[in-house]
């Protein structure tokens, strides 16, 4: 997985996480991440 850009959509109680590669091809999309899970999820992503 070669993620170059990570986007985070901030909301009140859940977040959406989106990653794309160098060709702007969607690598992953997590539509509902609880506040307490966001830091753990981002910490496990490869460097972007």
Residue 36 located in a structural domain: yes
Domain span at 9 = 5-43
From residue 34, alpha-carbon distances to 2, 24, 31 in Å are: 25, 26, 10
Which run of H or of E encompasses 42?
A: helix 35-43
Per cent of the chain over pLDDT 90 is 15
Residue 32 located in a structural domain: yes
Residue 21 located in a structural domain: yes
Report the alpha-carbon angle 13-20-23, nearest 5: 160
Residue 48 located in a structural domain: no
Distance of CA 32 to the CA centre of its chain: 10
Q: What is the mean pLDDT of residues 20-24?
A: 89
Residue 39 located in a structural domain: yes
Q: Give per-residue pLDDT as tens, 26-47.
A: 888 888 999 889 889 889 888 8
Residue 26 located in a structural domain: yes
Residue 23 located in a structural domain: yes
Domain count, the chain: 1
Residue 29 located in a structural domain: yes
């Amino acid at each position: 997985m070669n993620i170059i850009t990570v986007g985070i959509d901030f909301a009140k109680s859940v977040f959406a996480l989106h990653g794309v590669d160098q060709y702007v091809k969607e690598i992953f999309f997590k539509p509902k991440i609880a506040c307490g899970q966001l830091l753990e999820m981002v910490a496990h992503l490869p460097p972007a």
